[in-house]
Structure 1
């Protein structure tokens, strides 16, 4: 613990923040904090914040990568990490200054309120079961690894494939499960509507897999639904938390030295990033603007109802685009060319492109279309953005692994209809459709 403050001082500031939270109308789960070392924070970051998670080499890779970057001062660690659970769990870095702890506590309460009240989190997650769900998954995976008839290599093979396809799930959350009569009417050749937009579920149900392999896929799929709301609301969630840490700390009676550090830290968090979008910056500026122009009641309504894509389309206007100096650019050879600027003609194109690139908009949508002579036919729902061909070739091998046979994926390359084909022997080729 740094010598500059004690636990009792931190608890005192936390109590003051909690009183302000009640006054401004934030509605949160019970909040629990844990102060941890940078080594612990590296572990939590690698395991996506969970106190328990199943073993997989990718988590170890992430840990070693972040540890190396941190050791050479190539990257920092998050000031905090907060979990969508009830009670809400948050980790604070032991090396944070007193002011940084105060700021991150207020920031955490913003996330907590967002988790509890945004409709995506309400529909797709059960916060009270979060920790137990991850513990149960970890236990089942370890049991399969320890089973002499299965072992770590077979488990790893399925998890690798499921991780590669983890976002090929129903984009609006879990659908209604079919009853027995509906299942009886489904044929192996025709793909029911409930599975057309859920490739991972289709492969789990129809692939040539053992029970434990299907269970592993369903574990990855269930955890994906837990993380989807976070992916779909990154700008809103971080903007909401940043807006409230800024608002709450301005209401605290901070000593002059702490207030000066607060302004410095806040500006570092919400500053624009060169060459990329900072979600803290975009979200904070939008909620700050909306509170001033539409009022406190409106921003609470927006927090409850929207996701990043709709948030940007409805509320990112020309005035905000100009204030944030947003622009579009294209790479042509070794040159970077600005294609749109935030003026009367260009701001809408900038808004639309940004809205299309957030959340699952970054992930190509692949739908199962049917089975013909044992070949699984898939279609890329083309939206003028081509698949990255090398990535697609590697990913289709994982689909073939789970399907247990040949796979054809229809897409467009250079404005021409193409078929990316994977044989049972994992030989991939590209054909004219």
Structure 2
């Protein structure tokens, strides 16, 4: 069906009216029509057209373009950015119904960006566009600087990209100054020493080492390297650029299932309320089912999120889903609301390799579905990224000691060792990583980009 921009404006007005009636609270919304080539480019640059240059973005562009050319992958119906006003891109080649559906879907994302606490506390939507543009300009200035050049910029960005998710899991975290942190530790120690136990004896409290660096384990590796490393100012600036942009994307990483589920729930609800002509309604049902179709061998976040919000609305009412939208992230969302019945309806299962065989665990009993739910909850978002934190910096030779927080999941050395080399590249001195492999405590020592594995306890 042929349509004009005026037609889209008319449907957008109808959708926006329903958005307000249903109680969604959005930023002002802007739409842009783009070609499929533009969509591929935006996807490669994570919807940020002014982003700094790096080979990984070009690689992503060429890969997606090739797969799309040979019909091995599709493209997003839309792309929406967490900005104020909210910017969304629609593909010109979409059918009229698909444009209507994606416009409604975008308003769901818009409402989620504007109200979910991770976005509210962790990002400033009003400055997003300017931030990415300034970062792009700064990186290009270093590339064009004869004393620095592209190769050196690429070297630092490669290392920063490898480490960017080794950061604090507390979105929007406000840091306490080292002076205040030291004083807090002293106060805590003195209060504990002055107290007595049940039998009237003084508690045995260890004296805090307030001269240690870091005072407490530090999960934000780039922050620590910027603060204590021996890098040039332009190198620290590049690390800070990557760090700031990672912080911007963290809420999206942590709420993928909720965000897509919320947008899918609202495009479905809004289009059902639009009283679509029969021809468009049939296409709507097909397109919606395509969006929330179960993924073979994986988890479709649109499907899982949609089904949970649908369940919450039917069970607890509309106020509940708005409360959940505001307060939760994926890990809590799944752990609290992915019920046994939903696990069965979603046909969830997991498999593990035991020797040469794969063992499948299904939702067969109470413990089975809980284990599947808990594993899915603990592995979504940053839960799939191992926690590596700084625990010590030697004041004598600046050896940096890192600790892998072992939770039963081993660190993959195929990824861990190259990443450790990137830490050493930025730190410039010996780096030690403590972890557990085959139930043995292991020390990985990286110096001059060479790694030695030492077993320190059987």
Work out whether the TM-score is over 0.5: yes
- 1:169 Cα deviation from its structure 2 partner: 1.2
How does the TM-score come out when normalised to structure 1?
Answer: 0.96
Q: Are 1:330 and 2:352 an aligned pair?
A: yes
Aligned CA-pair RMSD:
1.7
Report if aligned partners of 2:118, 2:172 keep a CA contact under 8 Å in 1: no
Report if aligned partners of 2:112, 2:262 keep a CA contact under 8 Å in 1: yes
Structure 2 counterparts to residues 345-384 of structure 1, below 5 A: 345-372=367-394, 373-384=397-408
Q: Are 1:385 and 2:383 an aligned pair?
A: no
Q: Which residue of 1 aligns with 2:257?
A: 235
- 1:218 Cα deviation from its structure 2 partner: 0.5
| 3-state SS of 1:346 partner | helix
Q: Which residue of 2 aligns with 1:274?
A: 296
1:24/1:6 CA distance change after superposition, 3 Å: same
Report if aligned partners of 2:123, 2:172 keep a CA contact under 8 Å in 1: no
| 3-state SS of 1:377 partner | strand
Gaps of 5+ in 2: 184-208
- Name the CA distance, whole Å, in 2 between partners of 1:257 and 1:175: 50
| 3-state SS of 1:39 partner | helix
1:33-59 deviation digits (Å, cap 9, x = unpaired): 001000100110011001310010100
Report if aligned partners of 1:188, 1:371 keep a CA contact under 8 Å in 2: no
1:175/1:27 CA distance change after superposition, 3 Å: closer
* 1:133 pairs with one of 131, 139, 142: 131
Report if aligned partners of 1:81, 1:90 keep a CA contact under 8 Å in 2: yes
1:342/1:166 CA distance change after superposition, 3 Å: farther
Q: Which residue of 2 aligns with 1:211?
A: 233
| 3-state SS of 1:274 partner | coil
How does the TM-score come out when normalised to structure 2?
Answer: 0.91
Q: Which runs of 4+ in 1 moved over 3 A?
A: 174-189, 332-336
Q: Which residue of 2 aligns with 1:163?
A: 161
* 2:33 pairs with one of 35, 40, 49: 35
- Name the CA distance, whole Å, in 2 between partners of 1:187 and 1:310: 35
Gaps of 5+ in 1: none
Q: How many equivalent residue pairs?
A: 429
Structure 2 counterparts to residues 92-131 of structure 1, below 5 A: 92-131=90-129
Q: Which residue of 2 aligns with 1:83?
A: 81
- 1:337 Cα deviation from its structure 2 partner: 2.2
Structure 2 counterparts to residues 276-295 of structure 1, below 5 A: 276-295=298-317
1:189/1:47 CA distance change after superposition, 3 Å: same
- 1:332 Cα deviation from its structure 2 partner: 3.9
| 3-state SS of 2:323 partner | helix
1:315-361 deviation digits (Å, cap 9, x = unpaired): 11111111111112113456432123253331111110000110100
- Name the CA distance, whole Å, in 1 between partners of 2:175 and 2:96: 50
* 1:429 pairs with one of 452, 455, 458: 452
- 1:130 Cα deviation from its structure 2 partner: 0.4
Report if aligned partners of 1:375, 1:405 keep a CA contact under 8 Å in 2: yes
1:174/1:298 CA distance change after superposition, 3 Å: closer
| 3-state SS of 1:172 partner | coil
Report if aligned partners of 1:271, 1:281 keep a CA contact under 8 Å in 2: yes
- Name the CA distance, whole Å, in 2 between partners of 1:101 and 1:245: 11
* 1:344 pairs with one of 366, 373, 381: 366
Q: Which residue of 2 aligns with 1:398?
A: 422
- 1:171 Cα deviation from its structure 2 partner: 1.2
| 3-state SS of 2:350 partner | strand
